[in-house]
Structure 1
């Protein structure tokens, strides 16, 4: 099954929603994408992709079992694979910039050793996956051959497994994922203010995975607190308004309020055909539930972006003629 999924993802093309994400990135409006998908189509759309490795100080050395390198194929390593002549590997190098897309559940592009953490492209082991026999780790094999040549006692050779995260399984790169999340939650300093996420868009997920649920809740809190810090006073001088903030669920009507507040901008959006259950867990988390298809949504937004682009071009042309 994994072999078939890997082959299908290799030939698959990015969707309209992937292109929408790329368009946001081109406009410098995209802070980060956290994806639960394992097909890596975000990278095909042109987004930088992967999990940044920890910065390693000092000289490179083979990591211990408890401190294995990131096995994601997105991280720069020297692979020891069947067609390679190399017998040594290096520590993953830290990326200069944090990738735009972070795969929360790994990808179908790589396999890693359960003993030493070494990573290899999954496509080299399709036949082994089809047969159901876990392939031996090429790095462990090479090191064991060296040990035999110098007369040292034999060590066990690790087995490779797909670098995807299964249910109820810890992410082997979870610490590095957590660092990116914390970085995005805190924002970055820019002059006297801090910049960070100002809109949360949650798309196509049932929100049943505990880790993902926690990330969504934390970002929802942050975007709201950031708006409150920038605009602490929502008081209007005139008539009272109907308070509709905080979507409680698909059947929950807006609650009237006699307090005089202006309506703040939408900051948290949930886009999916079905609302996550139980709905009580998501009271006050989302401002808006868009009940629809992600691809249709992306197409509509693309049309609006094109209209905006055309309007700007027309405006510039009129200004040029006046001058």
Structure 2
């Protein structure tokens, strides 16, 4: 006799009474339960047998929406390390002997899937924004135009900027002019080109040393994107924001709050933070000890200043290193900043270990110490970065 426990366990394994058992089916019901193959599967199987029907099938509404995948071609040519490619001369038609190097560069920009871009002031010169270290850069022009400034670099040094009222006013005037210039300037052809690579999900991250924010004027690289995983990392801050040096509260930049002239009747030399003022007033009403009101400064990271977002940038950089980038694109920067140099060295080491590509794009050749830092470049692109999209168009590469 079957035990009650075993009978109960057996009932748990038994299908519910609503299920139709196979032996209860009638012959006429088999037609209704037969599974009809999908039309697409039949069509695809017929294409294998009859290749002549392939074009007709691909034009059908069913398959027209299928994604068309392009296979990555084999790299046929890789130049010797530190080969110099004259970009400007090539697009002008006077360096056709470098056609293989041009093909290599277009291959890297077309088929790399995890590009890390490190760019500097050189990418914004075409937009009318001056760089820093060239003959017409800010360090040179500021020294000659400001009587209080011994070196143009002083206006980007935290210790000098707030050493006196006159230096602070000169700094405020410079930031106000750069803010106005950045607001009226438009992204260059290079910015549009990099944005198109971002839209194709080829760019892992853009590390920009620029404070103008031109790279964030596209929807793909907007400054309003997720702060935890931005497409663009502004290493030196942004001229479009100001922040409190005490509570770190960030605001949209308002140049009218800063005194930009000795005779100006409006603005403060170093404005007070509205958030801190409000907290202080509340603490005063409650009878609590006052903690002081912070001061505002443009959200531009200066020399000898603690980087307020240094830890966040380090986390993103480590994340990008773990993602195994397959290309490093260094554009419009001389890599004079020690922190940026160290970051580029780590990316170059990772890319080289994965047999990726290191591309240098600048109007000047990389000095020997930079070549050593990068463990040499796969290609040194000598010329204006604005000609990169021109090259891609000439090589019939559709972006």
Please indicate the TM-score interval, normalised by the length of the shorter structure. Answer: 0.5 to 0.7
Structure 1 residues 97, 34: CA separation in 2 closer, same or farther (over 3 Å shift)? same
Greater relative CO, 1 or 2 (CA 8 Å, sep 6+): 2
Is residue 199–residue 220 contact of structure 2 (8 Å, CA) maintained in 1? no
Question: Using the alignment, how far apart are the partners of 1:112 and 1:99 within structure 2?
Answer: 19
What does the per-residue CA deviation read over 1:71-121, in whole Å, with 9 as the maximum and x for residues that have no partner?
xxx58xxxxxxxxxxxxxxxxxxx376111100000001111111111111
Query: Displacement, 1:49?
Result: 4.7
Aligned to 2:204, the other structure's residue is in SS state coil
Structure with the largest fraction of helix = 2
Residue from 292, 296, 300 that aligns with 1:160: 296
Which residue of the partner structure matches residue 69 of structure 1? none
Q: Does 1:126 align with 2:265?
A: no
Which residue of the partner structure matches residue 275 of structure 1? 365
Structure 1 residues 129, 215: CA separation in 2 closer, same or farther (over 3 Å shift)? farther
Question: Using the alignment, how far apart are the partners of 2:259 and 2:366 within structure 1?
Answer: 35
What does the per-residue CA deviation read over 1:57-77, in whole Å, with 9 as the maximum and x for residues that have no partner?
xxxxxxxxxxxxxxxxx58xx
Residue from 109, 113, 123 that aligns with 2:240: 109
Aligned to 1:214, the other structure's residue is in SS state helix
Q: Does 1:212 align with 2:343?
A: no
Residue from 18, 39, 47 that aligns with 2:191: 18
Question: Using the alignment, how far apart are the partners of 1:205 and 1:273 within structure 2?
Answer: 10
Which residue of the partner structure matches residue 144 of structure 1? 280
Structure 1 residues 167, 47: CA separation in 2 closer, same or farther (over 3 Å shift)? farther
Instruction: Give the RMSD, CA atoms, in angstroms.
Output: 2.1
Which residue of the partner structure matches residue 297 of structure 1? 388
Question: Using the alignment, how far apart are the partners of 2:219 and 2:327 within structure 1?
Answer: 22
Structure 1 residues 149, 20: CA separation in 2 closer, same or farther (over 3 Å shift)? same
Please list every run of 5 or more consecutive structure 2 residues that lacks an aligned counterpart in the other structure: 1-173, 262-267
Is residue 215–residue 232 contact of structure 2 (8 Å, CA) maintained in 1? yes
Which residue of the partner structure matches residue 182 of structure 2? 9
Aligned to 2:398, the other structure's residue is in SS state helix
Which residue of the partner structure matches residue 397 of structure 2? 308
Question: Using the alignment, how far apart are the partners of 2:259 and 2:325 within structure 1?
Answer: 40
**Where in structure 2 are the equivalents of 1:223-262 lying within 5 Å?**
223-227=351-355
Q: Does 1:201 align with 2:316?
A: no
**Which structure is larger by alpha-carbon Rg, 1 or 2?**
2
Which residue of the partner structure matches residue 135 of structure 1? 271
Question: Using the alignment, how far apart are the partners of 2:352 and 2:291 within structure 1?
Answer: 54
Is residue 47–residue 101 contact of structure 1 (8 Å, CA) maintained in 2? no
Question: Using the alignment, how far apart are the partners of 2:183 and 2:398 within structure 1?
Answer: 33
Question: Using the alignment, how far apart are the partners of 2:248 and 2:304 within structure 1?
Answer: 20
Query: Displacement, 1:130?
Result: 2.0
Which residue of the partner structure matches residue 184 of structure 1? 320
Please list every run of 5 or more consecutive structure 1 residues that lacks an aligned counterpart in the other structure: 51-73, 76-94, 188-195, 228-265, 311-323
Aligned to 2:197, the other structure's residue is in SS state helix
Is residue 38–residue 106 contact of structure 1 (8 Å, CA) maintained in 2? yes
Structure 1 residues 133, 268: CA separation in 2 closer, same or farther (over 3 Å shift)? same
Structure 1 residues 29, 140: CA separation in 2 closer, same or farther (over 3 Å shift)? same
Structure 1 residues 96, 281: CA separation in 2 closer, same or farther (over 3 Å shift)? closer
Which residue of the partner structure matches residue 44 of structure 1? 217
Query: Displacement, 1:129?
Result: 4.4
Aligned to 1:111, the other structure's residue is in SS state strand
Query: Displacement, 1:309?
Result: 3.4
TM-score normalised to structure 2 length: 0.51
Report the number of matched residues.
218
Structure 1 residues 221, 49: CA separation in 2 closer, same or farther (over 3 Å shift)? farther
Aligned to 1:309, the other structure's residue is in SS state coil
Structure 1 residues 116, 226: CA separation in 2 closer, same or farther (over 3 Å shift)? same
Question: Using the alignment, how far apart are the partners of 2:390 and 2:294 within structure 1?
Answer: 47
Question: Using the alignment, how far apart are the partners of 2:303 and 2:287 within structure 1?
Answer: 42
Is residue 125–residue 135 contact of structure 1 (8 Å, CA) maintained in 2? no
TM-score normalised to structure 1 length: 0.63
